[in-house]
Amino acid sequence: MTTPRLGLRENWHQFSLLVLVNAFVGGMVGLERTILPRLAEQEFHLVARSAILSFIVVFGLTKAVANYYAGAWANTVGRRNLLVIGWLIGLPVPLLLLWAPSWGWVIFANVLLGLNQGLAWSSTVVMKIDLVGPKQRGLAMGLNESAGYLAVAATAFASGWLATEYGLRPYPFYLGIVLAVLGLLSSLLVRDTRHHVALEAAQAPAGSSAGPPLSFWDVTWRHPNLGSVTQAGLVNNLNDGMVWGLLPLLLASKGFTLTQIGTVAAVYPAVWGLGQLVTGPLADRLCKKDLLFWGMLLQGAVLLTMLFTSSYPVFVLLAGLLGAGTALVYPTFLAAIAEYAPLAQRAHSVGIFRLWRDVGYAIGALLTGILADTLGLGAALAAIGGLTVLSSLVIRRRMYCLPAPDSVDASTGSCARPAPTFRLGSQVLVRPLSSYLFQLLLRCA
């Protein structure tokens, strides 16, 4: 067996294969982005928005649970095995959507799709982090998420075009069959990365790979950085669930064609995907707090602006800006979790984060469905936009930037910057950020 090495260049063959696999994973979701809400109205005659969005609720909850267990199982079952299992579960999804005689079939298909996304996407995320080591996590996540969401964009546009030309069924779902088969076949070529994890642990400074134990609630909220990232991930997918389920209906109510709806639905994840090629590397260099704050604030502002326009070109522009805001935060989320969580707890912490992040799909679909049914689409849009702005303010208030990794000890003549300690359960005392900054000024004066 070849001796494992850390780094993107050293593992580019394996890394590129995982990027390709994640593109197939993303394509499975993009298949539904344009046409499923219209399918609910036209073929299954659903009127209530909450009923239409039920497929997103089921998808979000199932994916969230799969994410959590993918993180917990990654060290026992193996990353590669989880990836293959995820694709085996996803194989029937396009067939169920193709043949569905009732909305219940669509719901069941989205249970399987949620399992597929949770296991397969989580596996590719953790394996890429394993391969590149600590210095290029942002870049790795940028490439990973870019591939996934560019595929979402491509299949959203392609399925919208196919539906316009040939009808909502069956042709758009033939594309899904091809994606599922290629995803499984390419996953069989992937090698597990457990040896890379062992290498990173051996190379890490003493004590850095263990760290204080992180509980479920530390990652969920108590740890100021991890908790801020987690709440932002939940709100990000909450607004994405709203865009997925209600934006096609909002655009249809304004008289846009399926091709136009597909274009808007594709521009958003396309900019999201391409933007991460830039924002991923930025997450390795800039303070993650700043990227998350501005990204969430931009998303919220765009959603609120959508209340005041009916122009198709303006919606295309706003979809692009929404994608840019999401691109700022998405690779940063995962890079931040990988940075703030101890190495031995990384996969589990990623699983907890992704659990809450994808619960956002279910909460968003339930909340916006109820609001849309009772108060109208505009009220749902306003509520989600406001929550997204509030999330950005939580980041601004709670998070702080970690010291630069290249700091050296004061005995060398340079400014040494000690990392602050945090409250993890009740075991570690909190050193307030203001006190940390004051000590830093004294050291560097």
**Mean of pLDDT over the chain:** 85
Q: Residue 210's pLDDT band (boundaries 50, 70, 90)?
A: low
In angstroms, the CA 285 to CA 114 distance is 33
Query: Percent of the chain having pLDDT more than 90?
Result: 51
Backbone angles phi, psi at 388, to 5 degrees: -70, -40
pLDDT at 416: 35
Q: Which helix (H) or strand (E) holds 177?
A: helix 171-187
Q: Residue 441's pLDDT band (boundaries 50, 70, 90)?
A: very low
The 10 Å CB-count burial string (b at 16+, else e) for 326-365 is bbbbbbbbbbbbbbbbbbbbbbbbbbbbbbbbbbbbbbbb
Taking the domains of the chain in order of start, what are their residue ranges?
12-196+216-398
> Is residue 87 over pLDDT 60?
yes
| Pairwise pLDDT comparison (293 vs 203), residue with the higher score | 293
pLDDT at 224: 93
Q: Are 328 and 273 in contact (CB under 8 A)?
A: no
CATH superfamily of 12-196+216-398: MFS general substrate transporter like domains (1.20.1250.20)
| pTM for this prediction | 0.77
